[in-house]
Structure 1
Amino acid sequence: ECPAGKELDRLVRSAYQQFELNLYEHFANCLSVESKILMGQSLDGVEGVVNFSDIKADPGRVGLDSVLKEVEKISFIRSLHLPVETFSSFNTKVLQRYRQRVNSESAWEVKQHPETIRYGLFAIFLYWRQREIIDGLIELFIQIVHRLSARAERKLVKTLLSDFQKVHGKTTLLFRIAEAALDNPNGLVKEVVYPVAGEDTLKSLLKEYKSSGPAYQQQVHKILRSSYSNHYRRMLPRILEALTFCSNNTQHRPVLDALDWLKHNQTSNQRYITLDDTIPVDGVIQPKWRDIVIEDNQGEKRINRINYEICVLQALRKRLRCKEIWVVDADRYRNPDDDLPLDFDANRENYYQDLGQTTDATAFVEQLRSEMSSALELLNREMPKNRKVRILSQGKNRISITPLAPQQEPMNLAYLKREITGRWPMTSLLDVLKEADLRIGFSDHFKTVADRENPDRQSLQQRILLCLYGMGTNTGLKRVSGSRHGISYKELLNVRRRFIHKAALRNAIGQVANAIFTARNPSIWGEGTTSCASDSKKFGSWDQNLMTEWHIR
């Protein structure tokens, strides 16, 4: 006889609870006594141990202090000797659920769990948090290396522009100087050269040369070197100790060899090192920096240590961004082979057919070359006919585009605005959010990460909408709770911690976007997609706001 609905639900809940208890017990038994002591000290906030709230926190603003803090977190988690291989054998979605549960609790709430559940949950959280911290550390590293170069260029450009004056007719001027020098080779500079090109003209010519070409690059590197050696150089040994870099392509092996060389010689204080076969050069040093890094000392080639470190960091940043080099135990910067299906090698041709690609590299390149040639021919054919575009003969930006004249507002749009204002003269954003939820039910995506849901779904729906409104508008939960809804700040905070997380937000936003495109009439609005235009303006927000990108501005 089939059990009744309530009896069936009870059996399923019982089986699921037993699975969780076995899971917690399994992970807790994998931990040593020393690891459990350190985990307890972290929850208690003992001095000298990275506490629980710091582990939960995201990286702060870009800077050396943020890098050192993230490295300290990684070192603490690795000192616990978590069973990484055991964790990696489980489904990531299962582990993420328990990670969300611990992240929604305070240290006091975690300590209230029985010992087996406490250590099992905390171990899962630390394993997943380690992957996120490594990702955050790599992001900080990429932004810091970019900032070093960008700041150096901005500083130099600002200095040059303060007294820069462009010299026109440099070829003619050089010819006149050469002619005067040949006519009077034994004369003084003041008597021969200055009448042709005055002292001010020569100074302007020298400044113009320094603002471009090799001289400009040398000055940029000089400023970059000063900033790196005086402040940011402290991060290099810490990053090399905390992260393990790998690559699946032998072409990028020189960068890894350079990192190994720096790691083995990080205690050396030598400013210059004799160049030999043990120091990787090709594939590490860019051609424009080669003369700055490799110096000639009385016929003997030597490497400037600090300049070489800068080149290695720049090469590493470039390859990390495109996953040519990946990091062990990372999540976003993990081994790209892990993203492939398990049977990819066996069914490679089938997967390529599904993607509409060929397995022949030569044919793939020829197809790209053909498409690019066709596009360039079309550009070359249409550009002379376009009256809005001009090709300039000088200047940095050679393509000049005439701004489009503003179009008149369509007549129907004015009628539409008037009708909307007449129907809904004072509609708040919260009412729009509530109406959207009543129509499509996007709040159903927000499930609790705890064991059960205490409030009824209607009350929960109201609190979820208030939380989303407070977060999405940067109004804040405290200010939202101060209105006439009768819901306290602690109640909203509890819903925020236990129900609202990134996966649920993505699903809800996707449902709202799909509903908008379904409701649009293509004959009026056209074929809409999920793409949109942006002026790339960034708005400041607190680092825990899931609706916006955390940025120092």
Structure 2
Amino acid sequence: MSRLADRETRFSEYEIRLCQRVSRKLGHSAEQVEALVTDLDGRHARLFAELRAGGTRLDLESLVREIDELASMRVLGLPTELLARIQGGAERTNLEILIREVDRQIAVQALCLPVELFDDCPSDLIDAWCTHGAACTPDELLAMPRAVRLTLLAALCAVRRRETADMLVAVLIGLVHQLHARIEARFEQSLPQDPWLERERHALLPKLLGAALDRPDEPVRSVLYPLVSEKTMRELVKDAATREAMHVRRKRAVLRSTYSSPYQQVLALLLTALEFRCTDPACWPVMAALGELVDDCMVCWGKGRYYDAGQSLPVDGVVPESWRPAVFDAEGRIERVPYGLCVLLSLRDMLSRRRVHIAGAGRWGRPPETREPEPVGATPTYHGLRPVRGDVIDWPSGADE
């Protein structure tokens, strides 16, 4: 009891008042938070043990290598259990660590802590409460006043959620950046070429351009055909069309093979564990497209290889110009997998520029307000038919309610 009494004396009158305020803010979430120490054998007890232990360091380079190995096993048609047996003597893999961190993050989000819970508390004090709560056993916490107990547990959850969210965003951005770099490198690899046609093209192009510029008003037959036969020109045109078709097919194959199923699953897992927010109307189309990448229950634009015709998918600012031939087919339909990668690239850029932030995160959390406050009684700005008053648009919708 002396240990508990010593800990209770550490709380100043100011902290006690803050704890009482925090416990009142918890509202209906208080029962969920308190279950971390009262539910001794259930999922809340396991979550409390994980929160006390803290996060595990994850190496991005090793994670990429593990995903590549998993993709190779699937391409070869080998059972993925073989990879686990090959690595039987290894420590816990980074992929396992990532899955565990995602599961813990989702469990903490399910506690539904209010967003503004610690808005009026100093950050150093919140970290101290987290450290204090992690050092206590369930019995020690139960012996404390309820307001203090709830505050320590809520701080432990909030800090762990912040740490994990920052780590998951870093992994998300790192994986998308890795995929983008690979795709661009493969795009730059030259296609096989016919040596004769290549020499002819380089030799004839200056002659044809010079003749056209010198005699612009004369017929093509009298200006160009004396330099190049009609047959040769048709062969060059046919070769150019063939090469363009090959280039498009190759780009599409590169996108599909690079953004493989294992990467799609890992990135969807990360998106599921993060709560995206934005106040920039220009980001809303990308936010809407995120639902297509996560779960079938959120898909509203069809489930086939191509998106249903007539869907108003955002393209400008999402699909790079150089990628569009690989994203659109000959009929103008948008292929789902390449488009999903384009959405992730746009999301990466928006996160990096702080146009999109993550609820509950630290480094990637909501940036400080820099806009001038609107005058009292000012008419709100309208974009299209929707009024915008600086409210936060959240995804998934209503996650904090």
TM range (shorter): 0.5 to 0.7
The CA deviation at 1:40 is 5.6
TM-score with structure 2 setting the length: 0.60
Q: Distance in 2 between matches of 1:164 and 1:70?
A: 52
Change (3 A) 1:86 1:112: same
Change (3 A) 1:56 1:296: same
One-letter code of the match for 2:140? H
- The answer on 1:93 being equivalent to 2:124 is yes
Cα-Cα RMSD: 4.6
Q: Which secondary structure state, in structure 1, belongs to the residue aligned with residue 307 of structure 2?
A: strand
The CA deviation at 1:75 is 0.8
- The answer on 1:144 being equivalent to 2:178 is no
* Contact map agreement 2:133 2:153 (CA 8 A) in 1: yes
Tell me which of 84, 100, 107 is aligned to 1:69: 100
Q: Distance in 1 between matches of 2:351 and 2:248?
A: 24
- The answer on 1:291 being equivalent to 2:325 is yes
One-letter code of the match for 2:345? Q
One-letter code of the match for 1:113? E
Q: Distance in 1 between matches of 2:184 and 2:59?
A: 21
* Contact map agreement 1:320 1:326 (CA 8 A) in 2: yes
One-letter code of the match for 1:328? A
Q: Which secondary structure state, in structure 1, belongs to the residue aligned with residue 334 of structure 2?
A: strand
In the other structure, the counterpart of 1:113 is: 140
* Contact map agreement 1:50 1:76 (CA 8 A) in 2: no
* Contact map agreement 1:257 1:280 (CA 8 A) in 2: no
In the other structure, the counterpart of 1:281 is: 315
Q: Which secondary structure state, in structure 2, belongs to the residue aligned with residue 60 of structure 1?
A: coil
Tell me which of 332, 336, 360 is aligned to 1:329: 360
Q: How many residues align?
A: 305
The CA deviation at 1:90 is 2.3
The CA deviation at 1:322 is 0.8
Change (3 A) 1:40 1:151: farther
Change (3 A) 1:327 1:216: farther
* Contact map agreement 2:286 2:346 (CA 8 A) in 1: yes
In the other structure, the counterpart of 1:60 is: 58
One-letter code of the match for 1:307? P
Q: Distance in 2 between matches of 1:169 and 1:183?
A: 12
In the other structure, the counterpart of 1:222 is: 253
Report the identity percentage: 22
Pairs within 5 Å for 1:13-412: 17-24=12-19, 27=22, 30=26, 31-39=29-37, 49=47, 51-52=49-50, 56-62=54-60, 63=63, 65=95, 67-102=98-133, 105=135, 109-111=136-138, 113-115=140-142, 116=144, 117-154=148-185, 170-172=201-203, 185=231, 219=250, 222-260=253-291, 262=293, 264-265=298-299, 269-297=303-331, 301-336=332-367, 338-340=368-370, 344-345=372-373
The CA deviation at 1:318 is 1.1
One-letter code of the match for 2:178? R
Q: Distance in 2 between matches of 1:346 and 1:76?
A: 38
Which one is further off, 120-129 or 167-176? Answer: 167-176
One-letter code of the match for 1:120? T
Q: Distance in 1 between matches of 2:52 and 2:130?
A: 16
TM-score with structure 1 setting the length: 0.45
One-letter code of the match for 2:287? L
Q: Distance in 2 between matches of 1:87 and 1:21?
A: 14
* Contact map agreement 1:149 1:224 (CA 8 A) in 2: no
The CA deviation at 1:98 is 2.1
Q: Which secondary structure state, in structure 2, belongs to the residue aligned with residue 85 of structure 1?
A: coil
Q: Distance in 2 between matches of 1:112 and 1:225?
A: 54
Q: Distance in 2 between matches of 1:233 and 1:270?
A: 16
Change (3 A) 1:220 1:292: closer
Change (3 A) 1:306 1:17: same
The CA deviation at 1:121 is 1.5
The CA deviation at 1:48 is 6.6
Q: Which secondary structure state, in structure 1, belongs to the residue aligned with residue 12 of structure 2?
A: helix
The CA deviation at 1:118 is 4.7
The CA deviation at 1:76 is 0.9
Q: Distance in 2 between matches of 1:17 and 1:72?
A: 36
Q: Distance in 2 between matches of 1:42 and 1:291?
A: 57
Q: Distance in 2 between matches of 1:40 and 1:168?
A: 80
Q: Which secondary structure state, in structure 2, belongs to the residue aligned with residue 272 of structure 1?
A: coil
Change (3 A) 1:340 1:281: closer
For the pair shown, the structure with the greater C-alpha radius of gyration is 1
Q: Which secondary structure state, in structure 2, belongs to the residue aligned with residue 274 of structure 1?
A: coil
One-letter code of the match for 1:56? G
Q: Distance in 1 between matches of 2:341 and 2:44?
A: 38
In the other structure, the counterpart of 2:71 is: none
The CA deviation at 1:162 is 12
* Contact map agreement 2:191 2:247 (CA 8 A) in 1: no
Q: Distance in 1 between matches of 2:45 and 2:13?
A: 37
In the other structure, the counterpart of 1:430 is: none
Q: Distance in 2 between matches of 1:102 and 1:281?
A: 48
Q: Distance in 1 between matches of 2:373 and 2:40?
A: 44
Structure 1, unmatched stretches of 5+, are 1-12, 194-204, 348-553
In the other structure, the counterpart of 2:390 is: none
Change (3 A) 1:151 1:110: farther
One-letter code of the match for 1:222? A
Change (3 A) 1:184 1:95: closer
Task: Provide, for residues 281-333 of structure 1, a one-character-per-residue CA deviation record: whole Å limited to 9, x for no partner.
Answer: 22222212222212233xxx321111111111111111111112222222222
